A = this chain, B = another copy of it.
Amino acid sequence: MLEKLKNVLLGSPLKSDDGAGDEHLLGKSQALAMLSSDALSSIAYGPEQVILVLTALSAAAIWWSLPIGIGVLILLISLTISYSQVIHAYPSGGGAYMVSTENLNPSLGLLAGGSLLIDYMLTVAVSVSSGADAITSAFPQLHPYNLTISIVLVLILMLMNLRGLQESASALFIPVYLFIASTIFLLVFGIFKILTGQLDYAATAHVGQSISGMSIVLLLRAFTSGSASLTGVEAISNAVPFFKKPKTKNAVKTLVIMSAILGFMFVGITFLNYWLGVLPSSKVTILAQIAQKVFGSSMIGQVLFYIFQLATAMILAVAANTGFSAFPILSFNMAKNKYMPHLYLEKGARLGYSNGIITLAVGAIVLLLASNGSTEGLIPLYTIGVFIPFALAQTGMVLYWKKQSPQNYLKKASANVVGALICYGIIAILLVFRLADIWLFFPIIGVLMVMFYAIKRHYTNVAKQLRIQESQAKVTHYKGNRVLVLIGNLTQASIEAISYAQSLTDNVTALHVSTAETKDKDAELQEEFQREFPGLELVNVVSSYRDVIKPTVDYVRQASQEAREKEETLTVLIPQFVPKKSWQNLLHNQMSLRLKYYLRWNEDIVIASYSFHLKD
C-alpha cells in the first residue's frame, strides 16, 4: 500500500535513459523563465529591507533609499560584467564550488560549497516566507497563518520535486513572464499617473533633507540589506551548457537582459515608494501597498492588485524551487568528491535526488521555525551566505585568467577584480556592522566544514581497508559452521526457520531468552521443543532485564568466540514476519530489527532473517 501511495504521489518510476536527449536546450526567453526567478523575485523583499533599516531611524529617512538604490544598481552592473566573464571562461558551467576548488584550493572550494548549501536552504526559506507575505498582504485574514503557509509551501515544493519536474521550462513561462509583465506595468502605470498628476506627491521628506541621527553605519547596513536583491544573479553562469548554440553568446545576452529588468524594477520600486511615502507594515508588504495606491480602489484596480499579488507569490514559489534544483546537484557533486554521504548520489524513483530534496526541505523548515517565518530575520544570513561564494568565485576567476595568459591577465581579469573587491567590501561591512545578525552563519559553516573533512577521511580510510592486499592470504577456508536460531515461542514460523537452518548444517542450536514475565512457561517450551525436534538443543537464557537484547547479544558474543577458536563460522537466524500489506510492517518485527541492530556490532558472524510470509 505504501508502494502504491508513493506511486500516486510521485508518479511511476522512470528509466534512466529518460531525459538524456538534446532537444531540451534552452532559447533565450526559455532560459530567462528557467533561470531568472531567483534574481527577479528578490525585488519582492529587497527594496523593503532597505526601507525597514532606514525607517527604524525615522520615516523621513526614506529618501536615502534613492542613493542606496543607485549603489545597488552599480553593484548589479559590476556583477553582471564579471559573471559575463565567468560564462566565457567556463562554458561547461562554473558554479562557485567548482571554480573555487579548481582555481583556489579544495578548502576554499568547500567553504564556497558549504555556504551555498546553507544558502539554498535560505533561498527556499526567504522565498516562501516572502511568498506567504504576498499572499497575506492580499488576504489579511490569513496573516496569523503566515508561518503555516510557508511550511506548507515548502512541503508542496518538496513533493513536486520528488515527483520530478521534467515539464519545468514551459510550466515556468507563465509565472515568470506574468510577474515581469505585471511589475513593469505597475511601474510604467505609476510613473504615467505621476506625470499626469493623478498620484499625489506624499514623500515623508524631500531628497537631501537632513535627518538627525543618520550615520554612515546605518546607510551601509541598509545597503547590505538591499544587496540581498542580487542573489540569483549567478544562476545563468552555472547553466551555460543548457543554452542553445552559440551557448556563451546566448547566455551573456540573457544575463544582460535579466540584469536590465532587475535594475529597472529595483530602482522603479524604490522611487515609487519614495514618491508615495509608503511606510513598512508588519501586515502588508510595501510592494503590495504601492500596488494598492497605483492601481486604486476601482473594481478594475482591485482585480489588477490581486493579479499582481498572485504573480508575486507565484514567482517567489518558482524562486524557492531553484533551490530545489540546485541543492541536490551540488550535494551530488560534493558526494562524488566524497565530502558528503553517498546517499546523495542515489537517484530516487523519478530520477530526482530524493535525499537532497528532503534534506533541503527539512533545513528550510528549521530556518522558518527558527526565524518564526520572518523574512527580515533571514535576510542578513542570506546576504553573507551569498556573498562568500560570490567573492570566492570572482577570486578564483582572477587566478584562472592568470593561468590562462600569465602575461597580461590583469586586463582580462579586471571585471573579476572589481567584482571580487566589491564582494569582499560587502562581506567586510556585514562583519563590522551586522555581526549580531550574521554570527550564526559561522558556527554552522564551521560544523559543515568539520563534517566534510570527517566524511572524506572516513571514505578514504574505508577504501584503503577494502583494497585487496596481494600480500596476505585473503580467502579463508573454514572447517564448518554453526547456526543459532532465535525463537520466542514455538510457532509455525520458528519451526520453518529451524528446518531451514538444518538445510545449512547439522550444527543447529535454538536460543530462547526468558524474562521475569515469561519464565513460568520455560519448562513447557522445552518439552514441546523436544517433541518436535528430538536431539536438537534448545538453550534457555534467563534475563534479569525486561528486554531480551542484552542477554542475546552476550550469548552470541560467546558463541562467536567459540566458533572462531574452532575455525568455524557462526550464523544467527532470526525469524521475521513479512506481512501482506506494507502498513502491517508497523505491527511486527520491532524486536527483530532491534536485535539485528545490536548484533551487528559482533564481529565474524552472519545475521540472517528467515521471512515468514503472512497470508492475511
Whether A503 contacts B478 in the complex (CB less than 8 A), given A151-B369, A465-B614, A545-B16, comes out as yes
A429 at the interface (CB under 8 A from B): no
CA distance A370 to B149 in the complex (A): 11
Q: Is the CB of B590 within 8 A of A342?
A: yes
Interface residues of A in 125-179 (CB under 8 A from B): 144-145, 147-148, 151
Whether A504 contacts B502 in the complex (CB less than 8 A), given A145-B372, A545-B16, comes out as no
CA distance A462 to B370 in the complex (A): 46
Q: Is the CB of A613 within 8 A of B606?
A: no
Q: Is the CB of A609 within 8 A of B606?
A: yes
CA distance A481 to B499 in the complex (A): 12
CA distance A474 to B490 in the complex (A): 12
Q: Is the CB of B459 within 8 A of A372?
A: no
Identify which of B148, B342, B369, B587 contacts A372 (C-beta below 8 A): B148
Q: Is the CB of B502 within 8 A of A478?
A: yes
A281 at the interface (CB under 8 A from B): no
CA distance A469 to B532 in the complex (A): 12
A426 at the interface (CB under 8 A from B): no
Interface residues of A in 594-616 (CB under 8 A from B): 596, 600-603, 605-611, 613-616
Instruction: Write the chain B residue with the least CB distance to A148.
Output: B372
Proximity string of chain A (569-585) to chain B, C-beta cutoff 8 Å, 1 when within and 0 when not: 10101001111000010
Q: Is the CB of B342 within 8 A of A547?
A: no
Q: Is the CB of A614 within 8 A of B148?
A: no
CA distance A346 to B496 in the complex (A): 26
Minimum Cβ distance to chain B for residue A478 (Å): 4
Residues of B within 8 A of A573 (CB): 606
Residues of B within 8 A of A341 (CB): 586-587
Residues of B within 8 A of A465 (CB): 492, 614-616
Q: Is the CB of A476 within 8 A of B499?
A: yes
Identify which of B351, B533, B603 contacts A613 (C-beta below 8 A): B603
Interface residues of A in 463-500 (CB under 8 A from B): 465-469, 474-481, 490-493, 495-496, 498-500
Identify which of B459, B495, B588 contacts A468 (C-beta below 8 A): B495
A564 at the interface (CB under 8 A from B): no
Instruction: Write the chain B residue with the least CB distance to A147.
Output: B147
Q: Is the CB of A584 within 8 A of B499?
A: no
Whether A533 contacts B475 in the complex (CB less than 8 A), given A369-B151, A546-B347, A608-B609, comes out as yes
A292 at the interface (CB under 8 A from B): no
CA distance A603 to B587 in the complex (A): 20
A455 at the interface (CB under 8 A from B): yes
A293 at the interface (CB under 8 A from B): no
CA distance A459 to B616 in the complex (A): 10
Q: Is the CB of B504 within 8 A of A491?
A: no
A303 at the interface (CB under 8 A from B): no
Instruction: Write the chain B residue with the least CB distance to A480.
Output: B503
Residues of B within 8 A of A515 (CB): 16
A206 at the interface (CB under 8 A from B): no
Minimum Cβ distance to chain B for residue A323 (Å): 22
Whether A608 contacts B607 in the complex (CB less than 8 A), given A458-B587, A492-B468, A492-B474, comes out as yes
A102 at the interface (CB under 8 A from B): no
CA distance A462 to B614 in the complex (A): 7
What are some 24 contacts across the A-B interface (CB < 8 A)?
A15-B545, A16-B546, A144-B374, A341-B586, A343-B587, A462-B577, A462-B614, A465-B492, A465-B616, A467-B491, A474-B492, A474-B499, A475-B495, A476-B496, A476-B499, A477-B502, A478-B499, A500-B569, A504-B569, A576-B600, A578-B601, A600-B609, A602-B611, A605-B611
The 3 closest A-B pairs by CB, nearest first: A16-B546, A478-B503, A608-B608
Question: Could you list which residues of chain A lie within 8 angstroms of chain B, going by C-beta atoms?
Answer: 13, 15-17, 144-145, 147-148, 151, 341-343, 346-347, 351, 369-370, 372, 374, 455, 458-459, 461-462, 465-469, 474-481, 490-493, 495-496, 498-500, 502-505, 515-516, 532-533, 544-547, 568-569, 571, 573, 576-579, 584, 586-588, 590-591, 596, 600-603, 605-611, 613-616
